[in-house]
Every structure is written in C-alpha cells, then in structure tokens.
C-alpha cells in the first residue's frame, strides 16, 4: 500500500527445467501462430518496403519526410538486402521480435512477481491478438513492444537492486525504444517520473540512486545524439506539411474512428483492441457497450492490495494512452493503439498477475483458461473474420487481377495512396491511379478498376464516375470482392 517497490529475495529455482520446456513450447506455438499470416501487405508496410529497396542514404533522405525514427527502417533495409522483398522476409524482424516477446514476458513476470505469473504472461503473449497482428507487419510496432517491456522490466530491477547491469539494460532499451518509435517518449516520461517518485520516497542510498539515474539519462541522451539531425528534419517537414498525413489510420475504423471527435467509447475500444485484438465494428460496438462489466472489475479489485511495482506497470500501460486520448481531442489521428502499443505487453503482464492472483488452484486455472480462450477467440476473429475493418486483402484481389490480366490490360486504382501496395503485388502490371484520368486501352484489352476505402465519399464518387463511363463504353466483364477491396473488370 505504501507505494514503494517491494524487494523480494530470489527464490530457489527448483522448476527451471519444466519452466524452460513450457516456455520453449509456448514460444514454438507463438512462432507458428505468427507465421500463419492471413493478411496482405498494408499501405505503410508497402511504403517501408519501397523505401528499404533504395540505397541506404537515399532511404534516410526519404525518411526526413516521414514521422518515424529510423531503427526499423535500417533493420528492414538490411533484411531486404539479405532476404529480398517477399512477404515473409520483410516481416521477419517483426516476427522475431514478436516471438521474443513470449520468453521476455515469462522472464519479466517471473522476475517481477513469480513463476506462475511468468508462465501465465507467456501463455497470454503466445495468443495475444495484437502481439500477433503487429508481428505480421513489416513495421516497427512489434519491436517497440519488445523494447517497451524490456525497459520496464529493467527499471523495476533498477529500483530493486540498482545494479549496473540493470541500469545499462534500461538505458539501452529506452534509447532503442525511442529509435524505434517517437511515441515511446511518453513511456519514457512515465518511467522518469517513477524514478523521481522513488527518489523522493527513498530513505537510504538516495543519492546513489540519483547519481545512477543522472548517469543513465546521460547515456540515453548520448545514444540519441545521432538521431538529432533526422529528427530536426522530420519536425521541420511535419510542420511544413501542416501536420497532416494523406494516409488513413490503420487502427480504428467504423463507429469509433470516423467521428470527427473522440468519444470515451473510442478509448475503451482501443483498450479492448490492445488485449483482444481488432474486430468488426458491430462487434466492437456491442463489446464496448458492456462497459458496466469494467465497473465490476474495478469493484472486484477492491482490497486486493497493490505494490509500487504494479502501480508502475499500470502507469506505463495507462498514462501514454490517456495522454494520447487528450491529444486526440485536438488532433484526432494521434489517438491510435499503435502509438501506445508498448502498453500491450505491460497490460498482458498485469492481466497475468490479476488472473493468477487467486489462491485456490481450481478457480485460478479456470480464470486463466477463460482468458486464454477469449484471447484465442479474439485472435481467430481478428485474423479470419472478413468483417474486420482492418483486413484489406490487396494480396488476394491483385493476385486474381494478375492471374486474369493479359499484356496490354490496364489497372486503375482508387484511392491514390494504395499505389505502393499495387506496385508491391502487381509490379508487372500497367497500373495507375484513377485520379490521373481514366485510360482506355485499345479494344479487346481489359481494364481493371481496383477500389478500396470506398466508405470515403470522394473515393466512392471517383470510382462511381469511372464505372459509369466504362459501362457506357465497354462491356462489363464482371467484378469480384475481397475484404475491403473491390475489383470491376471491363472489356
């Protein structure tokens, strides 16, 4: 209750072998699940892949117009050089980071609480839908999650024992986190505040903590110095571009996203996505409406006690989300799960702690089992349900177009920003955005109209006009649908 981090002596490790086996098994299962990729390359991924194919200096020059730090891009650049641009190849760094999250969750859970929490956390991490989702994306979020967890774990170790090893790991993980995602600064701020609180409350060895703390800040700053020129260029570009992005947000569509103003339901939806994955809008609306069960959870937590460590984890998980929710009131697109996705593994750890805190083995197993089942159901729905508004099957649609297309056929697409994906999947086709005009190939050749994001009135009107024009001049040769992608064929 006093908010201080409790110091527990290490317990004798008599079950290391069985734990190792269990974690290994979970890691293999987790790796398998992360390899079962069910979605195509997303817009941001396609852009990153395109950038990674450039010479390194050119990629870095392009990044000055981007809003992300360069660590993942550098890793991707190397991956593309080593393994090519295949879906699996470009996603391999994320898959590896996502898989490493499982043993890291075990280690953190075991170290911060006990082995039971470690095992349960690893179990949750194996099937956690968002951990898998971002493990299957050639972007930085999976790596961000891994570093975020390591940084928190190392900080708790620092506050417990203050050993140099923990300080070094904390400093490197923190710097790596910022090199991966700028929004990590929110977590860093929370963690620095935790150091301040700990310093304030500490009775003995206070100044030793302060000294080491200042030292770690200096190390972090030192590690961030090379980032400075890029960051300055990006800030300048961002301000010049009027702080906007033509790309749609990936997370958060439907009822919680399309509104111009944030609602508290959007906040709850993001929390649910963080743990149980992305789902159809109708499903989300139903789940979010059951918020009174959250009140029940709060009541159930009454009298359970809490440690300073749990409060730190809770702060790391909640404060960045709350800050971004506040910022989202001003700039809507900044409140997105992926920007505070570092909270996900910490949330899983807390959930593992909560689920395994019941003393009686029977109810405990039941609770843990139920959570695993709900996570698995969430995972299956996220990955397989075509109604998931974040599933855009460009791969399926363009594969079919490629299979049908003959030399001389033309592909037009709308909106313009799906161009990198079209280039990725249909590089050998003659494709151009619809906004540049409707090309008419010679008679006998086909024209494929690929439309996506048609809930946007502008895109819908553009595609509608094109279809109207084509239907008056060409024969309708059919159409087909893939999740969130439609293709019309004219001859």
Partner 1 sequence: MTPSTDPRLLDVRRESARLARPTGHRVWLLLIVNVPLSLWYFSWLLAPQRVGNRALYGILIVAELFNLVQAAGFWWTCADERSRRGAVRPAYLADVDVLVPVYGEPVDVVEPTIAAAVRLRGARVHVALLDDGDSPEMEALAARHRATYVRRLSRTGAKAGNLNNALRLTSAPFVAVFDCDHVPDPGFLEATLGYLIADSRIAFVQTPQYYANAIRGGLPAAAWAQQALFFGAIARGKDRLGAMFCCGTNVLFRRSALDRVGGFPENSLTEDFELSIRLHALGWRSRYVSEVLAQGLGPEDMAAYVSQQHRWARGCLSALPAALRAKLPWRLRAQYVLSAMFFLSGWSVLVYMLLPVIRILTGAQPLASASADQFLLHFAPYFTASLLTVVLAGAGMYTFAAFALTAASFWLHIHASLKALLRRPGRFVVTPKRGRAGRHIRAVLPAMIAICVLGASAWVGLLRDRSPATLNNVAFAALHMCVLLSGAGPALRRSGGVASQADAQQRRGRSAA
By CB under 8 A, name the binding residues for partner 1: 1, 263-265, 268, 285-286, 288-293, 295-296, 298-306
* Smallest distance from partner 1 to CB 334, Å: 19
Cα-based distances in Å from 439 to 26, 217, 404, 414, 449: 53, 58, 19, 13, 11
* Smallest distance from partner 1 to CB 142, Å: 31
* Smallest distance from partner 1 to CB 350, Å: 17
Q: How far apart are CA 252 and CA 6, in angstroms?
A: 38
Instruction: Find where tokens 């991956």 sit.
Output: 79
Q: How far apart are CA 435 and CA 309, in angstroms?
A: 54
Q: Which is nearer to partner 1, 17 or 261 (CB)?
A: 261
Q: How far apart are CA 322 and CA 306, in angstroms?
A: 21
| Assigned token pair, 446 | 């086909």
Q: Which is nearer to partner 1, 35 or 306 (CB)?
A: 306
* Smallest distance from partner 1 to CB 266, Å: 8
Q: Are 444 and 491 spatial neighbours (Cβ–Cβ below 8 Å)?
A: yes
Cα atoms found within 13 Å of the Cα of residue 281, Cβ hemisphere only: 10
* Smallest distance from partner 1 to CB 268, Å: 8
| Assigned token pair, 226 | 């090379």
Q: Which is nearer to partner 1, 221 or 322 (CB)?
A: 322
Q: Which is nearer to partner 1, 89 or 255 (CB)?
A: 255
Q: Which is nearer to partner 1, 82 or 361 (CB)?
A: 361
Q: Coil, helix or strand for 242?
A: coil
Q: Find the radius of gyration of the CA atoms of the chain.
A: 24
Q: How far apart are CA 204 and CA 36, in angstroms?
A: 52
Q: Which is nearer to partner 1, 358 or 402 (CB)?
A: 358
User: 301: Cβ–Cβ under 8 A, 6 or more apart, which residues?
Assistant: 354
Q: Which is nearer to partner 1, 203 or 304 (CB)?
A: 304
Q: Are 130 and 94 spatial neighbours (Cβ–Cβ below 8 Å)?
A: no
* Smallest distance from partner 1 to CB 256, Å: 9
Q: Are 352 and 121 spatial neighbours (Cβ–Cβ below 8 Å)?
A: yes
* Smallest distance from partner 1 to CB 58, Å: 47
Q: How far apart are CA 27 and CA 414, in angstroms?
A: 41
Q: Coil, helix or strand for 485?
A: strand
* Smallest distance from partner 1 to CB 99, Å: 36
DSSP 367: H
Cα-based distances in Å from 275 to 28, 67, 134: 21, 26, 13
Instruction: Find where tokens 């703390």 sit.
Output: 213
Q: Which is nearer to partner 1, 30 or 252 (CB)?
A: 252
* Smallest distance from partner 1 to CB 264, Å: 4
Q: Are 343 and 274 spatial neighbours (Cβ–Cβ below 8 Å)?
A: yes
Q: Coil, helix or strand for 417?
A: helix
Q: Which is nearer to partner 1, 99 or 310 (CB)?
A: 310
* Smallest distance from partner 1 to CB 2, Å: 9
Q: Which is nearer to partner 1, 181 or 257 (CB)?
A: 257
């Amino acid at each position: 209750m006093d908010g201080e981090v409790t110091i527990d002596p290490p317990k004798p490790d008599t079950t290391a072998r069985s734990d190792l086996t269990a974690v290994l098994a979970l890691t293999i299962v987790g790796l398998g699940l992360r390899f079962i990729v069910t979605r195509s390359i997303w817009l941001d991924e396609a852009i990153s892949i395109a950038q990674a194919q450039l010479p390194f200096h050119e990629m870095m020059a392009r990044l000055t117009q981007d809003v992300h730090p360069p660590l993942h891009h550098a890793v991707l650049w190397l991956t593309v050089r080593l393994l090519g641009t295949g879906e699996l190849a470009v996603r391999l760094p994320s898959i590896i980071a996502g898989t490493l999250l499982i043993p890291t969750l075990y280690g953190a859970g075991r170290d911060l609480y006990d082995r039971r929490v470690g095992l349960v956390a690893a179990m949750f991490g194996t099937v956690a839908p968002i951990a898998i989702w971002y493990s299957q994306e050639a972007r930085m979020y999976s790596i961000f999650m891994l570093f975020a967890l390591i940084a928190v774990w190392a900080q708790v170790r620092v506050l417990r024992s203050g050993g140099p090893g923990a300080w070094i790991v904390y400093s490197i993980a923190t710097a790596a986190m910022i090199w991966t995602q700028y929004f990590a600064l929110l977590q860093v701020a929370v963690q620095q505040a935790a150091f301040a609180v700990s310093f304030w409350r500490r009775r003995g060895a206070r100044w030793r903590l302060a000294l080491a703390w200042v030292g770690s800040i200096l190390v972090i700053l030192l590690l961030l110095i090379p980032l400075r020129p890029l960051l300055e260029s990006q800030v300048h570009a961002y301000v010049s571009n009027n702080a906007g992005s033509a790309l749609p947000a990936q997370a958060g569509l439907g009822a919680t996203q399309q509104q111009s103003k944030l609602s508290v339901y959007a906040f709850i939806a993001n929390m649910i996505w963080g743990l149980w994955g992305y789902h159809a809008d109708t499903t989300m609306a139903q789940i979010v409406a059951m918020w009174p069960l959250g009140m029940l959870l709060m009541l159930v937590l009454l009298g359970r006690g809490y440690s300073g460590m749990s409060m730190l984890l809770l702060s790391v998980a909640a404060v960045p989300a709350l800050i971004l929710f506040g910022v989202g009131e001003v700039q809507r697109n900044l409140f997105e799960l992926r920007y505070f996705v570092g909270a996900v593994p910490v949330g899983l750890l807390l959930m593992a702690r909560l689920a395994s805190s019941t003393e009686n083995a029977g109810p405990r197993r039941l609770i843990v089992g139920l959570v695993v089942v709900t996570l698995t159901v969430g995972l299956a729905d996220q990955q397989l349900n075509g109604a998931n508004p974040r599933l855009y099957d460009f791969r399926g649609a363009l594969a079919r177009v490629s299979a049908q297309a003959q030399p001389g056929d033309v592909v037009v697409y709308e909106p313009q920003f799906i161009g990198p994906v079209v280039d990725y999947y249909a590089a050998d086709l003659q494709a151009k955005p619809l906004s540049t005009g409707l090309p008419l190939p010679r008679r006998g050749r086909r024209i494929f109209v690929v439309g996506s994001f048609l809930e946007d009135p502008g895109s819908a009107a553009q595609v509608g006009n094109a279809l109207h024009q084509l239907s008056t001049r060409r024969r309708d040769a059919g159409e087909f649908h893939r999740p969130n992608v439609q293709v019309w064929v004219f001859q």
